[in-house]
Amino acid sequence: MIFGSSVEGRPLTVTRRGDLDGVRVLVIGCIHGNEADGMAIVEQLTRIDPPEGVDLWLVPTINPDGTAAGIRHNASGVDLNRNFPVNWAPLAEPGDWQYGGPAAASEPEAAATVALGELVQPSLVLWYHQDLYRISPSRGLSGQVRERYAELTGLPLIEVTGGTYTGTASQWSRTVTTDGGVGFTIELGPTLTEDEVARHAQAVVTVAAELLSG
């Protein structure tokens, strides 16, 4: 299904798989165009049969222009991970690696993703990035999901630092989840083997089935 388009007119697509009455899981393989290995995990998820009780919504990339060009930003030079309408603030200038755009959700890719999230109202939202190789720890159910995902994939639980985190996708995604829902970032390493792709895909459905579907 096409849910929007990029600055350059490329389609934004989502594939739905699994139990239509199950816990809804929204997975985004790529937001920074030069951090695209998560797309392989999304592709793997389109091939497996999710367990009963899991409803997958799978988005390969919300930045197809950046993916095509191999660059971090979208075609307007905006860091989409600083353009979402929760905790957005003016950040940097055009040309800066964190430029947040002229306004919250000013970019068609961010606006379309917001509309998709409001439609799906997922219980779990996962965002793939590279290449810090970690997951930030948390508390409560979110902490449990992160810990279990880390255990299944071998990623360490270490705080993600080094940027200014206004208008990030993960902050926004926690506002559209159902009550008690979870949204967080997974930082992959610089490369991803086929075995690691399979491990991450299995982790997605395992944490959804174990911690969210009951």
Query: Do residues 84 and 140 make contact, with C-beta atoms less than 8 angstroms apart?
Result: no
Q: List the one residue out of 46, 83, 62 whose CA is nearest residue 10.
A: 62
| pLDDT tens figures, 88-138 | 999 999 999 999 999 999 999 999 999 999 999 999 999 999 999 999 999
Q: Please say if the pLDDT value at position 20 is more than 90.
A: yes
At 64, which helix (H) or strand (E)?
Answer: helix 64-69
Residue for token digits 């389109």? 46
Q: Six-digit token pair at 8?
A: 């350059």
Q: Where are the domains of the chain?
A: 2-212
Superfamily of domain 2-212: Zn peptidases (3.40.630.10)
For residue 157, the 8-state DSSP code is: B
Q: Please say if the pLDDT value at position 6 is more than 90.
A: yes
Q: What does pTM read for this prediction?
A: 0.96
User: How many CB atoms sit inside 10 A of residue 2's CB?
Assistant: 9
Q: List the one residue out of 127, 120, 13 whose CA is nearest residue 60.
A: 13
Cα distances (Å, whole numbers) of residue 203 to 17, 94, 115, 133: 16, 37, 26, 16
| pLDDT tens figures, 179-194 | 777 999 999 999 999 9
* Banded pLDDT at 212 (limits 50, 70, 90): confident
**Which pLDDT does position 179 carry in this prediction?**
73
Residue 164 CA to residue 153 CA, distance in Å, equals 27
For residue 10, the 8-state DSSP code is: P
Q: What is the residue-averaged pLDDT of the chain? A: 95
Q: Six-digit token pair at 188?
A: 């992959």
* Banded pLDDT at 162 (limits 50, 70, 90): confident
Q: Are strands 23-28 and 54-59 parallel, antiparallel or unpaired?
A: parallel
